[in-house]
């Protein structure tokens, strides 16, 4: 029998209510809802009894037995779920209970329709690039982790900047003092990277992004590099300012002076289930409530007409001349065959 894992932000009453409804809809449709033990315990504390017909992950079934996961919450809940199932090729579909919810596929009001589509397998699976993150010092790997959105080097103390050198593919780009550096995926381009002034990159674009945060420098522009590149940030030792590495805002590592942080494309992507084919541009407009008043759109193919008149052609009476300074007397801008004026 098909099994679907239900993740819920159990710290919110709305999420617990949505989890109960989701489990009931799945069971009614003939599938087995699965929950983590801690989520089941949170439901018991909230409503006084366990969710009926639910199996417990790792007790009653393994991750490999589950078809997909439904995440009830915001983008943070999706990131948390992705961390829990990273070892398994388990696609996730997010139902937004938060604010922006860029990683979510549906809103709370669409919960019943979402469950119905999942039961009917009316979804596609999209692979999102993740990054591998390593922290080095004196050729020793201090830590290794990963991220779906970004790895962010940040100053540890509010009153002191960190001094860094940014690097791409083994070559230094610039050094400056700053509040930090964000190294992001296209998925993360609408998260921390966006807030730091980075570009919005469409999810299907294969690229990596590096964005300095409040850099004290004339050249500290966001960089978009090849997905096969190695991005690095080196912490300089000329100050003792502390720094910390955050990955997806969930995993943190203290960075000693002289540490080196390397980011590369991960071989293991995160799989997201998609229920519709809404273009990313439309999602961008909807999530950020962008103004599009006045847009007319492209002309329809059956209404397009070829030009009725040809473009004018430069005649033989005109000729080009070499560029010159305005203070050079007697040289016209365009020669037409006549003598230059005195």
pLDDT tens for each residue of 241-271? 889 999 999 999 999 889 999 999 999 999 9
Query: What is the average pLDDT across 312-337?
Result: 58
Residue 21: predicted pLDDT: 92
Q: CA 81 to CA 101: how far, in whole Å?
A: 14
pLDDT tens for each residue of 46-63? 888 888 889 999 999 998
Residue 223: predicted pLDDT: 97
- The band of 311, judged by pLDDT with boundaries at 50, 70 and 90, is low
**Is 190 annotated as contributing to ligand binding?**
yes
- Percent of the chain with pLDDT strictly greater than 70: 89
**Is 60 annotated as contributing to ligand binding?**
no
Which residues are the active-site residues? Answer: 75
Out of 159-168, 219-228, 273-282, least confident range: 273-282
Q: CA 128 to CA 148: how far, in whole Å?
A: 8
Mean pLDDT of the chain, nearest integer: 88
- The band of 325, judged by pLDDT with boundaries at 50, 70 and 90, is low
User: For residue 164, what are the β-bridge partners?
Assistant: 176, 235
DSSP 96-148: E-SSS-TT-SEEGGGHHHHHHHHHTT--EEEEE--EEEEEEETTEEEEEEEES
Tallying the residues shown for the chain, one arrives at 342
CATH of region 131-268 = 2.60.200.30
**Is 154 annotated as contributing to ligand binding?**
no
**Is 193 annotated as contributing to ligand binding?**
yes
Q: Which two tokens stand for residue 68?
A: 């997909």
Q: Say yes or no: domain 3-128 is CATH 3.40.50.10330.
A: yes
User: For residue 332, what are the β-bridge partners?
Assistant: none
Q: Which two tokens stand for residue 220?
A: 């500290």
Residue 248: predicted pLDDT: 95
Domain limits, CATH 3.40.50.10330, in the chain: 3-128
pLDDT tens for each residue of 177-218? 999 999 999 999 999 999 999 999 999 999 999 999 999 998
């Amino acid at each position: 029998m098909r099994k679907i894992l239900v993740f819920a932000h159990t710290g919110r009453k709305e999420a617990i209510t949505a989890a109960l409804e989701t489990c009931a809809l799945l069971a009614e449709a003939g599938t087995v809802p699965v929950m983590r033990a801690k989520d089941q315990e949170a439901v018991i504390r909230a409503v006084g009894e366990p969710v009926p017909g639910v199996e417990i992950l790792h007790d009653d079934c393994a991750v490999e037995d589950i078809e997909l996961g439904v995440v009830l919450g915001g983008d943070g809940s999706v990131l948390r779920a992705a961390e829990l199932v990273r070892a398994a090729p388990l696609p996730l579909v997010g139902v937004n209970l938060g604010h922006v919810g860029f990683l979510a596929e549906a809103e709370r009001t669409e919960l019943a329709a979402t469950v119905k589509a999942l039961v009917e397998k009316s979804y596609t699976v999209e692979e999102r690039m993740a990054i591998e993150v390593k922290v080095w010092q004196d050729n020793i790997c201090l830590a290794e982790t990963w991220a779906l959105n970004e790895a962010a080097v940040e100053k540890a103390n509010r009153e002191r900047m960190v001094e860094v050198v940014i690097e791409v593919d083994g070559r230094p780009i610039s050094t400056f003092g700053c509040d930090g550096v964000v190294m992001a995926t296209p998925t993360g381009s609408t998260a921390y990277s966006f807030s730091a002034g980075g570009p919005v990159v469409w999810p299907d674009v294969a690229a990596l992004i590096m964005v300095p945060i409040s850099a004290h420098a004339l050249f500290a522009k966001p960089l978009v590099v090849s997905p096969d590149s190695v991005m690095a940030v080196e912490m300089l030792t000329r100050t003792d300012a502390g720094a910390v590495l955050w990955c997806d805002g969930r995993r943190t590592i203290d960075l000693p002076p002289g540490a080196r942080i390397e980011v590369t494309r991960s071989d293991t992507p995160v799989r997201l289930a998609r229920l519709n084919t809404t273009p990313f541009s439309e999602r961008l407009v909807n999530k950020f409530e962008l103004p599009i008043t006045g847009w007319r759109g492209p002309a329809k193919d059956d209404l397009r007409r070829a030009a009725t008149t040809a473009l004018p052609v430069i005649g033989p009476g005109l000729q080009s001349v070499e560029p010159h300074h305005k203070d050079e007397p007697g040289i016209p801008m365009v020669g037409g065959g006549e003598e230059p004026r005195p």
